Amino acid sequence: MSYLPAPEQPPATTPSVGARLQTDGKLRLRPNGAGSVLRVLLKRPFYLTVAITLLLIAALRFPVVAGQGAVSLSRAGHEDLTFWVNHNGLDQIDVEGEIGFGDMARLLMRRRSNAARMQALRDRFVFKVREFDKLDAPDLLRPGNPPYVIAQNRIFNLLSVRAGKGVAYKVFETQPGTGSGAMVKRTFDGVEAAFDVRPLARLRVKIVDENGKPAAARLYLTAADGLAYAPRGAISRFAALPAEPYFHARGSFEMDLPAGETTIEATRGLEYELVTKQVRLHPQAPTDVTLGLKRWTNMAATNWYSSDAHIHANYTADHHQVVTAQDVQLYAHAEDLHYANMMVANSFGAFLHDTALFSGKPHPLSTRDYVLYWNEEMRNAGLYGHMCLFNLKRLVEPLYTGFAGTPQSDDYPPNFTQAKAARAQGGAVTYAHPGYAPTLDGASARELPVDLALGEVDAMDVLSNNPEEVALDLWYKLLNCGFRLGISAGTDSFTNVADHYTPGGGRVYAHLAGRMNPIDWVRAFRQGRTFATNGPMISLRVQDREPGDEIHLPSGPQRIPVVLKVDSKVPIDKIELIVNGKPFPGITSTITLDRSSWIAVRATGPAHRLVLNDTAAFAHTSPVYVYLGKQPIASPGDAKFFVQWIDGLIQRVGQRGRFSTPERKREVVELFTRARDIYQRKAQE
């Protein structure tokens, strides 16, 4: 999870056609509690003084900024309406009277046609604005609105903004209007509204794969009333960037919906097309639909298997821990995610989420092709950053550091110690959500340059819930210093929160020698035989070697053959060969290198409905490393950048670090100084 400010969104780009190219060239607010605490402080000046002092210290240590925290924006007691997930599906929401901004916005998001309007108000899943008058959806109660289609004997939420507040009226009609085509008319605060009351009709859906066998999928179900639905037993969630509801299901489902035109859409992860069926439901008899999933590519056929490095089944609070291993198995199958790397972690205190699911091996619900593995997010409160760990036999303790008021309030041990312990037991380490600006102040992964220089980091989540352009800037600089660092992807999805990231919406593929198994997958991940993507499929061969490989050639300029391939069902508008962090001019079958270099491929495109978590389509390979003679890959300027970075980090440790003994602080400073010396030598090469 990250706590840094979100950047301004770039202007929308013009959609382009899909591309295919081959060339041989967690926070829950309790408003009612805050008021009572304030009243106590005002009555006791001593406690007020202490509280202010602590707040000032906290502000100095960790400046208060907006970020990507999961905040309900609900009125007290309303968090269960739309914020937390449940297994009740989605058919009606029983609420009446004043509601919070978050619930009002999510109720409006239930109407699929409101998606574009809601996207404009959001930064990923976070609302950039929180004023009710900005929720200018056409279905809000207004004079002269066309009739609302509603279901008979179902609650319909009629929404209105009054005096800067959100109001939900509960409409429940047991009978349709009298006469042919007649509407039921009601008046709400002097505004008349008409309702086209439809009887319920049964829809029965089967989901099959390309071989005709029952399959799991992500589904979008839109009824004749324009609202999204999910069957009983399913978890209804919102896709962050498209701002629309979906659910996962396996094999079949059925439910009652208002009669009329109904749209059912299904897909499965990134490698399947979106299948759409439109049917007309009649109350007289059930309507049967079969959705046949269709692949547009099959990466596993060539031994490429995907993972999301950073998923939280349950997170953000010590309650609403409702997502089960069975739910996670459904997510993995429905998103075609071969390695679901699940996190045991704290959030804001000492409570650890999902420790009962950790066993030091794949969960028993794993299959040959789909692995569920509870591992660990090692989290420091602000100085060092967060790491996602793979393939643990035992949890690396402590699981968190630097959290005031907990048993692990010290910023000790440093992340290096934890990363080393994870790798010593056969695990792998990737730094999560690098940050919102490529600076020490704007970054989250502040200790990454240290741990990489000292040899205890395997990868970096270049594709995450932070801007890719920021992660690329840092990643390229680190690679230019001559280090090997593979690409990774982690969504940081909280699956017990309804409006949050979709697991597998961004993912990292690893190339194995054979069929999927977690040991070989982690080995390939550590070797950097990887690419990250939220849609496009991308590959690279340099002199017939793949990402993660090293090529050693004689000194002097060398012409090298390059083969890249990009396939995509989402639009892409730029494909680039990246050499030492810079786009190589044009797409060509050979390139000439005059110094040791790393080479990778990058593809980008505009936002798209099927790019679930990110503001743009993105794919990037890990590098192929090419060495000419004994010359290292080097960039003195980038090395100097990290000398200054670590100087700043050491200063932060001295000013803001929390250590119970001088020896602990000295140990951390000495460790960071060792890494600084490595960059200093590289800066002088």
Q: What is the pLDDT of residues 368-391, one digit of tens each?
A: 999 999 999 999 999 999 999 999
pLDDT at 68: 63
- Per-residue burial over 342-372, b if 16 or more Cβ lie within 10 Å, else e, is bbbbbbbeeebbbeebbeeebbeebeeebbb
Strands 597-605 and 624-628: what pairing?
antiparallel
Report the pLDDT value the prediction gives residue 69, as an integer from 0 to 100.
76
The runs of H, that is alpha helices, within 286-414 are: 325-334
Task: Tell me the two tokens of residue 65.
Answer: 């900024």
Return the higher-pLDDT residue of 98 and 585: 98
Contact 475, 460 (CB under 8 A): yes
Of 416, 418, 464, 421, which is closest to residue 443 (Cα–Cα)?
Answer: 464
Phi, psi values for residue 464, rounded to 5°: -155, -155
pLDDT over threshold 50, residue 458: yes
> Is pLDDT at 619 greater than 50 in this prediction?
yes
> How large is the average pLDDT for residues 354-363?
98
- Closest C-alpha to 506, from 521, 525, 491: 491
Task: Please tell me the predicted confidence (pLDDT) of residue 177.
Answer: 75
Q: What share of the chain is helix, strand, coil (3-state, %, to 5)?
A: 20, 35, 45
Tokens coding 310 = 């950073």
**What's the mean pLDDT when you consider all of the chain?**
90
70: CB partners within 8 A, 6+ apart? 26, 27, 125, 315, 316, 494, 497, 500
d(CA 392, CA 307): 16
Q: Tell whether the model's pLDDT for residue 271 goes beyond 80.
A: yes
Average pLDDT over residues 11-15: 30
- The span from the CA of 505 to the CA of 491, in Å, is 7
The confidence score (pLDDT) of residue 180 equals 62
Enumerate long-range contacts of 126-134, CB under 8 Å, 24 or more apart.
Answer: 126/6, 126/66, 126/67, 126/68, 126/69, 126/71, 127/73, 127/101, 127/102, 130/73, 130/101, 131/101, 131/164, 132/101, 132/104, 132/161, 132/164, 132/165, 132/166, 133/161, 133/164
pLDDT in tens, 521-533: 999 999 999 999 9
If you ran DSSP here, which 8-state letter would residue 283 be given?
T
Comparison of pLDDT for 19 and 497, the residue scoring more: 497
Nearest to 379 by CA among 447, 442, 307: 447
Cis peptide before 438 (omega within 30 of 0): no
At residue 202, the pLDDT reads 98
Phi, psi of 249 (to 5 degrees): -150, 160
> Taking 90 as the threshold, does the pLDDT of residue 16 lie above it?
no
What six digits make up the tokens of 459? 């990868």
Return the minimum-mean-pLDDT range out of 17-26, 300-309, 344-353, 357-366.
Answer: 17-26
Mean pLDDT of 342-356: 97
Residue 113 tokens, joined: 């046609």
Q: Say if residues 375 and 342 touch (Cβ distance below 8 Å).
A: yes
User: What pLDDT score does 67 carry?
Assistant: 54
Please check the confidence at residue 14 and state whether its pLDDT lies above 60.
no
Q: Is the pLDDT of residue 8 over 90?
A: no
Amino acid, single-letter form, for residue 349: G
| Residue 556, Ramachandran bin (φ over 0: left; ψ between -120 and 50: alpha; else beta) | left
pLDDT in tens, 466-484: 999 999 999 999 999 999 9
- pLDDT of 26-77, one tens digit each? 222 223 333 333 333 333 444 334 333 333 333 333 333 335 678 999 999 9
Q: Report the pLDDT value the prediction gives residue 349, as an integer from 0 to 100.
A: 95
Nearest to 461, CA basis, from 477, 448, 442, 450: 448
Where are the strands (E) in 512-557, listed by range?
530-533, 537-542, 550-553
Average pLDDT over residues 439-467: 97
**pLDDT tier for residue 179 given thresholds of 50, 70 and 90:** low
300 conformational bin, left if phi > 0, alpha if psi -120 to 50, beta if neither: alpha
Q: pLDDT above 70 covers what percent of the chain?
A: 89
C-alpha span between 545 and 529 (Å, rounded): 10
Summarised one tens digit per residue, pLDDT across range 202-234 is 999 999 999 999 999 999 999 999 999 999 999
Q: What phi-psi label fits residue 673: left (phi over 0), alpha (psi between -120 and 50 degrees) or beta? A: alpha
Using CB atoms within 10 A of its CB, is residue 495 exposed (0-12), middle (13-18) or buried (19+)?
buried
Answer yes or no: is pLDDT of 24 > 60.
Answer: no
pLDDT for the residue numbered 685: 83
Neighbours of 551 (CB within 10 A): 19
Pairwise CA distance, residues 530 & 542, whole Å: 14
CA distance 619 to 640: 29
